[in-house]
Amino acid sequence: MLTQEPLEWPDEVEVLIDQLENESTERDLTREERALMDIYETVPILQSDDCLHEFWQSGMNHQRIINSFELIGATGLVDPLNASRWCETRPEDRNDYTGTEADYLASIEEELVEGMEDLIELVMDFIEEEMD
Protein backbone atom coordinates (compact mmCIF):
# COMPACT_ATOMS: atom_id res chain seq x y z
CA MET A 1 0.00 0.00 0.00
CA LEU A 2 2.66 2.41 -1.05
CA THR A 3 1.98 5.54 -2.99
CA GLN A 4 3.99 5.96 -6.12
CA GLU A 5 3.73 7.94 -9.30
CA PRO A 6 1.94 5.95 -12.00
CA LEU A 7 4.30 4.68 -14.65
CA GLU A 8 4.00 6.68 -17.84
CA TRP A 9 4.88 4.59 -20.86
CA PRO A 10 6.67 6.30 -23.75
CA ASP A 11 4.59 6.79 -26.89
CA GLU A 12 6.60 4.07 -28.65
CA VAL A 13 5.39 1.51 -26.10
CA GLU A 14 1.78 2.73 -26.25
CA VAL A 15 1.73 2.49 -30.06
CA LEU A 16 3.27 -0.98 -30.00
CA ILE A 17 0.75 -2.18 -27.39
CA ASP A 18 -2.15 -0.86 -29.49
CA GLN A 19 -0.72 -2.62 -32.52
CA LEU A 20 -0.31 -5.90 -30.63
CA GLU A 21 -3.83 -5.69 -29.22
CA ASN A 22 -5.19 -5.31 -32.75
CA GLU A 23 -3.03 -8.08 -34.17
CA SER A 24 -3.84 -10.50 -31.34
CA THR A 25 -7.34 -10.95 -32.75
CA GLU A 26 -5.84 -12.16 -36.04
CA ARG A 27 -2.85 -14.22 -34.89
CA ASP A 28 -1.16 -15.67 -31.84
CA LEU A 29 1.39 -13.34 -30.30
CA THR A 30 5.01 -14.43 -30.01
CA ARG A 31 6.42 -15.10 -26.55
CA GLU A 32 8.18 -11.72 -26.62
CA GLU A 33 5.02 -9.90 -27.69
CA ARG A 34 2.96 -11.70 -25.02
CA ALA A 35 5.57 -10.76 -22.39
CA LEU A 36 5.30 -7.11 -23.32
CA MET A 37 1.49 -7.28 -23.11
CA ASP A 38 1.68 -9.08 -19.74
CA ILE A 39 3.93 -6.40 -18.31
CA TYR A 40 1.84 -3.56 -19.68
CA GLU A 41 -1.37 -5.06 -18.28
CA THR A 42 0.15 -5.95 -14.90
CA VAL A 43 1.82 -2.65 -13.99
CA PRO A 44 -1.46 -0.87 -13.10
CA ILE A 45 -2.28 -3.69 -10.66
CA LEU A 46 1.17 -3.49 -9.10
CA GLN A 47 0.71 0.26 -8.69
CA SER A 48 -2.76 -0.02 -7.16
CA ASP A 49 -3.51 0.47 -3.47
CA ASP A 50 -3.55 -3.28 -2.84
CA CYS A 51 -0.51 -3.88 -5.04
CA LEU A 52 0.87 -7.40 -4.55
CA HIS A 53 -2.22 -8.60 -2.72
CA GLU A 54 -4.40 -7.59 -5.67
CA PHE A 55 -1.98 -9.25 -8.10
CA TRP A 56 -2.17 -12.57 -6.27
CA GLN A 57 -5.94 -12.38 -5.82
CA SER A 58 -6.50 -11.67 -9.53
CA GLY A 59 -7.28 -14.40 -12.00
CA MET A 60 -4.13 -13.66 -13.98
CA ASN A 61 -1.68 -16.34 -15.03
CA HIS A 62 0.80 -15.43 -12.29
CA GLN A 63 3.67 -17.66 -13.38
CA ARG A 64 3.47 -16.49 -16.99
CA ILE A 65 3.57 -12.87 -15.83
CA ILE A 66 6.55 -13.51 -13.55
CA ASN A 67 8.26 -15.24 -16.49
CA SER A 68 7.47 -12.19 -18.64
CA PHE A 69 9.19 -9.85 -16.19
CA GLU A 70 12.11 -12.28 -16.05
CA LEU A 71 12.32 -12.43 -19.85
CA ILE A 72 12.98 -8.68 -20.04
CA GLY A 73 15.47 -8.83 -17.15
CA ALA A 74 13.33 -7.15 -14.48
CA THR A 75 14.70 -9.13 -11.54
CA GLY A 76 13.88 -6.15 -9.30
CA LEU A 77 10.23 -7.12 -9.88
CA VAL A 78 10.60 -10.90 -10.17
CA ASP A 79 12.08 -11.25 -6.70
CA PRO A 80 9.29 -9.33 -4.88
CA LEU A 81 6.64 -11.16 -6.92
CA ASN A 82 8.10 -14.52 -5.92
CA ALA A 83 8.60 -13.41 -2.31
CA SER A 84 4.91 -12.45 -2.08
CA ARG A 85 3.57 -15.67 -3.58
CA TRP A 86 2.10 -16.61 -0.19
CA CYS A 87 -0.52 -13.86 -0.71
CA GLU A 88 -2.24 -16.15 -3.20
CA THR A 89 -3.52 -18.30 -0.33
CA ARG A 90 -4.48 -15.44 1.96
CA PRO A 91 -7.95 -14.02 2.62
CA GLU A 92 -9.52 -11.91 -0.11
CA ASP A 93 -9.40 -8.81 2.08
CA ARG A 94 -5.93 -7.47 2.70
CA ASN A 95 -7.15 -6.03 6.01
CA ASP A 96 -7.45 -9.61 7.32
CA TYR A 97 -3.66 -10.07 7.33
CA THR A 98 -1.94 -10.36 10.70
CA GLY A 99 0.30 -7.48 11.71
CA THR A 100 3.37 -9.55 10.89
CA GLU A 101 2.02 -10.47 7.45
CA ALA A 102 1.08 -6.87 6.70
CA ASP A 103 4.54 -5.63 7.74
CA TYR A 104 6.28 -8.30 5.69
CA LEU A 105 4.15 -7.51 2.63
CA ALA A 106 4.87 -3.80 3.03
CA SER A 107 8.61 -4.50 3.03
CA ILE A 108 8.27 -6.60 -0.14
CA GLU A 109 6.26 -3.82 -1.78
CA GLU A 110 9.05 -1.36 -1.01
CA GLU A 111 11.38 -3.61 -3.03
CA LEU A 112 8.80 -3.71 -5.80
CA VAL A 113 8.64 0.09 -5.99
CA GLU A 114 12.43 0.20 -6.29
CA GLY A 115 12.27 -2.40 -9.06
CA MET A 116 9.72 -0.32 -10.97
CA GLU A 117 12.26 2.50 -11.31
CA ASP A 118 14.13 0.67 -14.07
CA LEU A 119 11.13 -0.90 -15.80
CA ILE A 120 10.67 1.60 -18.63
CA GLU A 121 14.35 1.39 -19.55
CA LEU A 122 14.25 -2.42 -19.45
CA VAL A 123 11.13 -2.51 -21.63
CA MET A 124 12.63 -0.07 -24.14
CA ASP A 125 15.84 -2.14 -24.33
CA PHE A 126 13.79 -5.31 -24.75
CA ILE A 127 11.75 -3.79 -27.57
CA GLU A 128 14.91 -2.60 -29.32
CA GLU A 129 16.72 -5.94 -28.96
CA GLU A 130 13.90 -8.45 -29.37
CA MET A 131 11.13 -6.83 -31.36
CA ASP A 132 12.71 -4.61 -34.01
Residues 39, 44: Cα–Cα separation, whole Å? 9
- Residue-wise pLDDT tens digits, 72-123: 999 999 999 999 999 999 888 888 899 999 999 999 999 999 999 999 999 9
Q: Which of 22, 24, 25, 17 is nearest to 42 (CA)?
A: 17
> Considering the entire predicted model, what is its pTM?
0.90
- Residue-wise pLDDT tens digits, 67-80: 999 999 999 999 99
| 24 belongs to a structural domain | no
| 14 belongs to a structural domain | no
- The total domain count for the chain is 1
| 23 belongs to a structural domain | no
**CB distance 112 to 4 below 8 Å:** no
| 7 belongs to a structural domain | no
